[in-house]
């Protein structure tokens, strides 16, 4: 017998998956908290535009929270940090249970797509000084021309001393830019080409100066000489010093509120600093976690997690090794492996939010929506889950119970349509230790663009999700 009208309504509310905007769950107090949380996040985005700056900011805040250098023999307590080459940091908080029971780990990345200067960047052409770049990560090249750019980085001088540069962030600073071709003359050079070929990588050269060095007018390359003079005057660096340097070109504009209702945050590098920031705040919020909490910030995710600061390096093993020593357990290889095997982890990374302009690249039933909370992504990968770390139904069940039991707004969606493209995260590189691992982070619009957009509701729900994961999973 088919159910009556009232019964049918009850059945739907009992059986069907509920879809509810996180905004509808908030009261006035929540909204105030979200507003102040978002402001602090915007400040973080503006002070941490590179991986090194993110480490600096995390370290500064961690010290204020009582975290101590794990390398210090005499340092005691239950909160420690370890840094790797100024590009990774691990924050660790010992739990009530012995560390041999495993760790609760949240991993994010703090590198973002950008333009790096080449080892020999500076040249002069048509009385303009320019810098050659090599782009880093998956950028759409047309997004990097005709916008104000800032220069961030470090230079190691010939005597080994190090200088950190930031030019273009202070309102009194000059900025830089990459000139774009005027539409009047772009018909053959650009407009008939595929968008990815319209601007060649070699044409992403940064406008750096224009005034020639005064004095001998017979000299060659006087514009280049003049900027070298200015660099030396201000920073005591020479052209050769630029070889032992890491200088990144990033958007010069600031992160800020988006929308008349101020419901969103726009800014550079939210992939993945939104997860870095929320996971940092989540470990700071721990009073006495059950298991040992570790929040790990990694580099080089955008180019495949390679090298000695990427997820494929053994840095995390070193961190856990030191934790074992701090816990006064025998530093044995077997114990290390057991701890890693018994751990549970979130790969904290952003997902693509459904963009109404490009809805057809998403499969709507499985696309994350802005404002519907943190997204749990069972698997990533492309071309048939290729290269994915596919979380188990059991682990997904645990995470779902955890979030439901603690009133965290969450959704469980994929990146886009099957065969449309795809992507990966650090999940698979840590899952090889045998720990439970799942991708979990907020959706963003315009991922990898100079101005990515996230919902403040999702920002806050992501923080809550990470907080309860560390405290209660």
Binding mask 344-363 for Mn ion (x = CB under 5 A): -----x--------------
> To the nearest 10°, the Cα dihedral for 54, 57, 63, 69?
30
Strand, coil or helix: what is 352? strand
Q: Is 267 helix (H, G, I), strand (E, B) or coil?
A: strand
d(CA 466, CA 406): 11
Q: Closer CB to Mn ion, residue 80 or residue 466? A: 466
Question: Least Å distance between CB 275 and Mn ion?
Answer: 8
The DSSP code sequence of 175-202 is -BB-----GGG-IIIIITS-HHHHS-GG
Q: How far is the CB of 113 from Mn ion (least distance, A)?
A: 7
- Residue 197 CB, nearest approach to Mn ion (Å): 22
Q: How far is the CB of 311 from Mn ion (least distance, A)?
A: 11
CA–CA gap between residue 281 and residue 274 (Å, rounded): 11
CA atoms within 13 A on the CB side of 51: 28
| Smallest gap from residue 196 Cβ to Mn ion (A) | 17
CB nearer to Mn ion: give 436 or 452. Answer: 452
Q: Are 302 and 113 in contact (CB under 8 A)?
A: yes
Q: How far is CA 420 from the centre of its chain?
A: 23
Instruction: Locate 293 and state its tokens.
Output: 């909490």
Nearer to Mn ion, 272 or 281 (CB): 272
Give backbone dihedrals phi and psi of 319, rounded to 5 degrees, phi first.
-60, -50
- List the structure tokens of 442: 């907020």
By beta-carbon proximity to Mn ion, the closer residue of 113 and 373 is 113
Q: Which helix (H) or strand (E) holds 159?
A: none
Residues 256-275 interacting with Mn ion (rule: CB under 5 A): 271-272
Q: Indicate the residue among 281 and 349 with the shorter CB distance to Mn ion.
A: 349
What string of DSSP letters covers 93-124?
A: E--SS-GGG-EEEEEEE----EEEEEEEEEEE
Contact string 360-379 vs Mn ion (x = CB under 5 A):
--------------------
Closer residue to Mn ion in complex, CB, 212/307: 307
Task: Locate all alpha helices (DSSP H) within 178-221, ordered by sequence.
Answer: 195-198
Binding track, positions 13-42, relative to Mn ion; x by CB under 5 A: ------------------------------
23/451 with CB nearer Mn ion: 451
182-221 residues near Mn ion, rule: CB under 5 A: none
Indicate the DSSP class of residue 200. Answer: -
Residue 40 DSSP label? H
Largest CA distance in the chain: 99
Quote the DSSP letter at residue 176.
Answer: B
CA distance 146 to 149: 9
CA–CA dist 317, 321 (Å, integer): 6
Question: Which residues are bridge partners to 133 per DSSP?
Answer: 117
Residue 417 CB coordination number (10 Å): 15
Tell which positions 125-144 bind Mn ion, by CB under 5 A. none
Q: How many residues belong to the site for Mn ion (CB under 5 A)? A: 3
Between 176 and 277, whose beta carbon lies closer to Mn ion? 277
CB of 272 or CB of 299, closer to Mn ion: 272
Minimum CB–partner distance for residue 350 and Mn ion (Å): 6
Site string for Mn ion, 307-346 (x = CB under 5 A): ----------------------------------------
Task: For the CB of residue 173, give the shortest distance to Mn ion in the complex, in Å.
Answer: 28
Find the shortest distance in angstroms from Cβ 137 to Mn ion: 7
Question: Residues 272-301 vs Mn ion: string with x where CB under 5 A?
Answer: x-----------------------------
111 belongs to the binding site for Mn ion (CB under 5 A): no
- Least CB distance to Mn ion at residue 440 (A): 12
Q: Please, what is the minimum distance in Å from the beta carbon of residue 302 to Mn ion?
A: 5
Q: How far is the CB of 443 from Mn ion (least distance, A)?
A: 12
Residues 226-245 that bind Mn ion (CB under 5 A): none
Buried b (16+ CB within 10 A) or exposed e, 150-159: bbbbbbebee
Q: Cβ closer to Mn ion: 204 or 350?
A: 350
Cis ω before 272 (30° cut-off from 0): yes
* Sites for Mn ion among residues 434-463 (CB under 5 A): none
Give the chain's end-to-end CA distance (angstroms, integer): 43
> Residue 127 or 306: which CB sits closer to Mn ion?
306
Nearer to Mn ion, 127 or 420 (CB): 420
The C-alpha atoms of residue 471 and residue 467 are separated, in whole angstroms, by 6
Minimum distance of Mn ion from residue 72's CB (angstroms): 32
The footprint of Mn ion (CB under 5 A) covers 271-272, 349
């Amino acid at each position: 017998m088919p159910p009556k009208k009232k019964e049918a309504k009850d059945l739907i509310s009992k059986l069907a998956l509920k879809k509810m905007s996180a905004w509808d769950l908030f009261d006035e107090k929540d909204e105030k908290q979200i507003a102040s949380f978002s402001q602090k996040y915007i400040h973080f985005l503006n002070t941490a535009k590179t991986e090194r700056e993110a480490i600096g900011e995390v370290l500064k805040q961690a010290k204020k929270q009582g975290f101590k250098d794990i390398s210090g023999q005499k340092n005691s307590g239950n909160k420690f940090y370890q840094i790797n080459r100024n590009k990774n940091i691990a924050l660790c908080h010992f739990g009530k249970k012995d560390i041999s029971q495993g760790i609760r780990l949240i991993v994010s990345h703090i590198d973002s797509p950008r333009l790096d200067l080449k080892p020999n960047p500076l040249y002069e052409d048509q009385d303009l000084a320019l810098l050659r770049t090599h782009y880093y990560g998956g950028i759409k090249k047309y997004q990097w021309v005709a916008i104000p750019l800032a220069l961030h980085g470090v230079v190691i001088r010939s005597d080994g001393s190090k200088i950190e540069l930031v030019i273009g962030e202070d309102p009194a600073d000059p900025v830089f830019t990459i000139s774009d071709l005027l539409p009047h003359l772009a018909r053959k050079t650009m407009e008939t080409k595929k968008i990815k070929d319209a601007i060649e990588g070699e044409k992403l050269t940064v406008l750096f100066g224009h005034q020639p060095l005064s004095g001998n007018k017979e000299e060659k390359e006087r514009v280049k000489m003049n900027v070298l003079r200015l660099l030396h005057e201000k920073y005591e660096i020479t052209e050769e010093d630029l070889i032992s340097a890491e200088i990144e070109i990033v958007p010069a504009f600031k992160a800020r509120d988006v929308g008349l209702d101020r419901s969103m945050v726009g800014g550079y590098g939210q992939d993945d600093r939104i997860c870095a920031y929320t996971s940092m705040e989540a470990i700071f919020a721990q009073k006495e976690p059950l298991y040992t909490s570790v929040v790990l910030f990694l580099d080089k995710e955008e180019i495949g997690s390679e090298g000695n600061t990427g997820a494929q390096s053994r840095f995390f093993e070193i961190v856990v090794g030191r934790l074992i020593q701090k816990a006064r357990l025998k530093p044995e290889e077997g114990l290390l492996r057991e701890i890693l095997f018994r751990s549970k982890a979130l790969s904290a990374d952003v997902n693509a939010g459904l963009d109404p302009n490009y809805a057809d690249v998403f499969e709507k039933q499985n696309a994350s929506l802005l404002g519907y909370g943190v997204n749990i992504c069972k698997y990533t990968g492309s071309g048939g889950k290729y290269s994915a770390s596919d979380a188990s139904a059991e682990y997904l069940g645990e995470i779902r119970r955890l979030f439901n039991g603690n009133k965290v707004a969450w959704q469980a969606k994929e990146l886009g349509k099957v065969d449309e493209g795809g992507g990966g995260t650090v999940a698979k590189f840590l899952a090889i230790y045998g720990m439970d691992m799942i991708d979990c982070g907020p959706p963003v619009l315009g991922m990898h663009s100079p101005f990515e957009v996230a919902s403040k509701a999702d920002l806050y729900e992501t923080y809550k999700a990470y907080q309860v994961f560390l405290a209660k999973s």
